[in-house]
Amino acid sequence: MNFINAMQERYTTKKYNATRKIDSAKLEELKEIVRLSPSSINSQPWRFTFVRDEAVKAKLAQASYFNEQKILDCDTLVVFSRIDSIPLFEKQIEETLPEPAVGYYKQFLKPQPETQIKAWFDSQTYLALGVFLSACASMGIDATPMEGIEPEKYNRILGAEHHHALVGVAIGYRDEDDFNQPSKNPKSRRALADVVTTIN
């Protein structure tokens, strides 16, 4: 399907078909797509963890408030984490980015408080989230982005030493009875004129 149709048909899945699995080739494609996500100065302050192991999924589900059943039933839970160690991030960009990009970081971001720098890391990770959700839609894969998780518990379960969980995304295929799919609950968005301004 073309992209606008994919966006018209995508929605936040509330109930998954636990018996239907994503083809492994599609999962590998999603991994490469999210790796290619844009970020300011190509900073890439993130990690994406694809969890298919049922035992690990079950532990994460218990740390996900009202999202537990979605995680248990989906094919894969993808955890979007931002780097949590500023020294490690600085080492990373020194090794991988050109001098002008590193210089931008040192001049404009490094002087900021730690909370502000990490908020900038968060923003880059959410750019990747948007790319990922759009890719899922274009591939006909259903997805549920969830901030309703307990990040510290996620970090412990995943053994994350230098990264901090922000969002979990359940992916798979909808249950035919899912009440939230557009055929049962039409997509609701504000009018184009209310959100888009054109200056010619």
Task: List for the chain the helix, strand, coil content (%; round to 5).
Answer: 50, 15, 35
- Print burial letters for 153-170: b (CB count within 10 Å at least 16), e (below 16): ebbebbebeebbbbbbbb
* HSE of 16, CA atoms in CB hemisphere, 13 A: 26
* HSE of 36, CA atoms in CB hemisphere, 13 A: 7
Reported confidence tier of residue 55, pLDDT bands at 50, 70, 90? very high
What pLDDT sits at residue 104? Answer: 98
Measured between alpha carbons, how far is 123 from 118 in angstroms, rounded to an integer? 9
What pLDDT sits at residue 30? Answer: 98
The tokens describing 84, both together, are 């949590």
CATH 3.40.50.720 correct for 3-195: no
Longest dimension (CA), the chain: 55
| Mean pLDDT across 168-178 | 98
DSSP 8-state class, residue 57: H
Average pLDDT, the chain: 98
Sequence spans of domains, the chain: 3-195
pTM score > 0.95 for this model?
Answer: yes
- Chain segment 98-129, per-residue pLDDT in tens: 999 999 999 999 999 999 999 999 999 999 99
| Mean pLDDT across 5-10 | 96
Strand ranges (E), the chain: 46-51, 76-83, 142-146, 163-172
Burial class (CB in 10 A: 0-12, 13-18, 19+), 83: buried
Reported confidence tier of residue 140, pLDDT bands at 50, 70, 90? very high
- Chain segment 23-45, per-residue pLDDT in tens: 999 999 999 999 999 999 999 99
Q: Looking up tokens 């030493």, which residue turns up?
A: 161
- Chain segment 144-169, per-residue pLDDT in tens: 999 999 999 999 999 999 999 999 99
